Amino acid sequence: MLWSKTFIPTMKETPEGAEIPSHILMLRAGLISQVMAGAYTYLPLGLRALRKAEQIVRQEMDAAGAIELLMPALSPLSLWERSGRVAAFGDVLIQFSLKRQNRKINVALGPTHEEVITDLVAHHISSYRQMPITLYQIQTKFRNEERPRFGVLRTSEFLMKDAYSFDASLEGLNHSYQLMYKAYCRIFDRCGLKYLAVEAESGPIGGEASHEFMVLAPNGEDVVLHCAECGYAANQERAEVGARDFSKPNVSPEPLRQVPTPGASTIEQVSNFLGCTPKQMIKTLIYLADDRPVAILIRGDHDANEGKIRRQCRASTVGLAPPEVIQQVTGAPVGFAGPVGLAQKVPIFADRDVQCVVNAVTGANAADAHLTGVNLGRDFAVDAFADLRNAVDGDPCPRCSSVVRLHQAIEVGHVFKLGTKYSEALGATFLDANERQQTIIMGCYGIGINRIVAALIETCHDDNGIIWPISLAPYEVLLLPLNVAHEPTWQAAQDLYQQLQAAGVEVLLDDRDCRAGVKFKDADLIGIPLRVVISERGVKDGKLELKWRWQRQADHLPLDGASQQITELIADERRTARRFREFRNSS
RNA sequence: CGGGGCGUGGCGCAGUCUGGCUAGCGCGCCUGCUUUGGGAGCAGGAAGUCGUGGGUUCGAAUCCCGCCGCCCCGACCA
């Protein structure tokens, strides 16, 4: 492709509003252009990278035995009502009605496709002989995100690979899951991403086990905990807190006292007001576990983990209680709950770290008052201690004697063991070998294609621009004739361009009649892996200059036979990615 | 949904507090000459409903009220 014939609107300055590297670089390098919040046009360069990622995903899905199909983005709302997810998705589900002659039909744009595919399978699979099967598609998904942000990382419309496995047995599901898990590892490896597979909650989608594939990046929206020693990795919702010493500090108990704390209800306000640290405080949270109130005690500097609370309460749903219930349980307005003297008898569960707090500060179950010198055993009792809080940086690892570290991360993929949630709701059953009717067991597996591209850029760039691995690069080689008005230079560039194209190399020729500096800056910005400079002097001496984007120094190459050498270099890098890997491992 | 910021040629910004002449600057774009290995120089030129609706005023980019859009933090979230 000739630079002048395609469309690469690069920008010298950072557009207003872009703050994180991937967003800034995608805009500046002319990969994307914003249409509105959460919706971007993919320009030619961005689209090529996106297609590369898509193709890698497709190849690995096919290699893992998954079968591609394509479902419509539009589907009848009734399908979503049958699974109960109209309510679960809420405003995230984009729905509207269409006029058809004299009727109206209610439809939704798919935020994911469990319902559609399960309905398909319910109609067409009826025997254990037709399984296992894994079906997938690569298609645009729609989600009305409350707050789209970070450029292309969170948008209301995005390209997703979604796969669904259908098995006759749990062992079958485990096998299908493993196949997808391994395929995901190969995909992210090939895309040049440094990733971590972390244990995850299955969330509202239901099911039993799941892993998220995370790319560590300071601007990621997700939080993961990772033990460098044993490799334990989990997202924050899931991460367990390892064993630790629960002995109390050697401090003598103080008498229980009620102190006025007018207007101070949050941990921060109270600790400032009373001059204590959040660590000395115990917060008392009133939750509704399947509509039954419970009191949860968490040390002031920790955050409650609803998943852990839900499991402790053996409830299917938990949520913070509304103000009326809090008032009822504590006898005080919101913000002054405490474990001592609750108005209503409710189960009290405490996080394990609560047992080490002596002379704690808690709410007094009275407006504008807190208690100091609160001590476990003497002043209050709990029904059970359990791991109820979010893990934090430096917590003991649950699997070994080391500690876990907290990292921000971008979620690029997710694999779930779904079980029978959707097959049951939508009647996807089969006859087994014993002629018994059974429910199909499902798994589902998603990859955000746009996020692959954004995560790569987010984690692989320098001050001058993007650094693509050859696998995702919009073009593999950039030819840079410095002076296109110089006839021999231009001729050499054109010859090389044609030879490389004939050899199947994806090559971009910067044929613009502009100064060398402009071309070099743009070359670094768009980050094509191999840059070939053709200069007046070089042509005279029969030489070319070769530089991988991640190298500092350029190499020289005889002009004679250059195309063959470049073709071989590209072929080797495509096959092994060893030069890119070497750079990434050293940086 | 709560908090904060922003909206002025294609892009980045100044001007707004303290209303006043023809709305400026840099980049980009067009023409010409010179230049040609890291975002060139000179000369000339095109391009702006100052987000939008209303109000105050002799006069509004500037002051007041409403609305819209964009970005960030929080809440929320496969």
A57 CA vs B13 C1’ separation (Å): 43
Q: What is the pLDDT of residue A207?
A: 47
- Which nucleotide lies nearest residue A414, CA to C1'? B78
- Which nucleotide lies nearest residue A483, CA to C1'? B36
Q: What is the pLDDT of residue A205?
A: 45
**pLDDT tens-digit series, residues A230-265:** 999 999 989 999 999 888 888 899 999 999 988 788
Name the stretches of chain A with pLDDT < 50.
204-207
- Which nucleotide lies nearest residue A515, CA to C1'? B36
Q: What is the pLDDT of residue A318?
A: 86
A239 close to A391: Cβ distance less than 8 angstroms: yes
pTM here?
A: 0.94
Rounded CA-CA distance A587/A213 in Å is 21
Nearest protein residue to nucleotide B35 (CA to C1' distance) is A515
A139 three-class SS:
strand
Q: How far is CA A437 from CA A170, A420, A428, A578, in A?
A: 16, 14, 10, 52
A156 CA vs B50 C1’ separation (Å): 31
A205 close to A196: Cβ distance less than 8 angstroms: no
**pLDDT tens-digit series, residues A324-361:** 888 899 998 888 899 999 999 999 999 999 999 999 99
A19 CA vs B16 C1’ separation (Å): 26
A215 close to A455: Cβ distance less than 8 angstroms: yes
- Which nucleotide lies nearest residue A13, CA to C1'? B12
Strand A133-142 relative to strand A195-200: parallel, antiparallel, unpaired?
unpaired
Q: How far is CA A116 from CA A108, A119, A120, A493, in A?
A: 11, 5, 6, 52
Q: What is the pLDDT of residue A202?
A: 61
A15 CA vs B61 C1’ separation (Å): 22
Q: Residues with Cβ < 8 Å from A136, sequence gap 6 or more?
A: A61, A66, A67, A68, A69, A161, A162, A163, A164, A445
Look at residues A474, A477, A472, A466 and name the one whose alpha carbon lies nearest to residue A57: A472
The Cβ of residue A522 has, within 10 Å, a number of other Cβ atoms equal to 23
Q: What is the pLDDT of residue A242?
A: 94
Look at residues A547, A521, A551 and name the one whose alpha carbon lies nearest to residue A533: A547
Rounded CA-CA distance A548/A529 in Å is 5
Nearest protein residue to nucleotide B69 (CA to C1' distance) is A36
A16 CA vs B20 C1’ separation (Å): 32
Phi-psi region of A17 (alpha: psi -120 to 50; beta: other; left: phi over 0): left
A508 close to A475: Cβ distance less than 8 angstroms: yes
Amino acid at A555: D
A515 CA vs B43 C1’ separation (Å): 20
- Which nucleotide lies nearest residue A39, CA to C1'? B70
> Which bases of chain B are under 7 A from a protein CB atom?
1, 5-6, 11-13, 26-28, 35-40, 69-78
What the block records as the tokens of A388 is 């109820």
- Which nucleotide lies nearest residue A536, CA to C1'? B37
A152 CA vs B3 C1’ separation (Å): 25
- Which nucleotide lies nearest residue A111, CA to C1'? B78
Nearest protein residue to nucleotide B27 (CA to C1' distance) is A12
- Which nucleotide lies nearest residue A221, CA to C1'? B77
Rounded CA-CA distance A313/A486 in Å is 78
A14 CA vs B26 C1’ separation (Å): 14
Find where tokens 């939508």 sit: A426
A525 CA vs B10 C1’ separation (Å): 20
A559 close to A540: Cβ distance less than 8 angstroms: no
Assembly ipTM: 0.94
In Å, the largest CA–CA distance within chain A is 93
- Which nucleotide lies nearest residue A145, CA to C1'? B77
Q: What is the pLDDT of residue A208?
A: 53
Query: Domains in chain A, please, with CATH?
Result: 3-240+407-457 (3.30.930.10), 257-386 (3.90.960.10), 461-586 (3.40.50.800)
A16 CA vs B53 C1’ separation (Å): 26
A34 CA vs B69 C1’ separation (Å): 13
Q: What is the pLDDT of residue A247?
A: 87
The Cβ of residue A558 has, within 10 Å, a number of other Cβ atoms equal to 11
Sheet strands (E) in A77-168? 94-100, 103-109, 133-142, 157-167
A36 CA vs B62 C1’ separation (Å): 29
Query: What b-and-e string marks burial along A263-294, b requiring 16 or more CB atoms within 10 Å of the CB?
Result: ebbebeebbebbebeeebbbbbbbbbbeeebb
A158 close to A448: Cβ distance less than 8 angstroms: yes
A88 close to A95: Cβ distance less than 8 angstroms: no
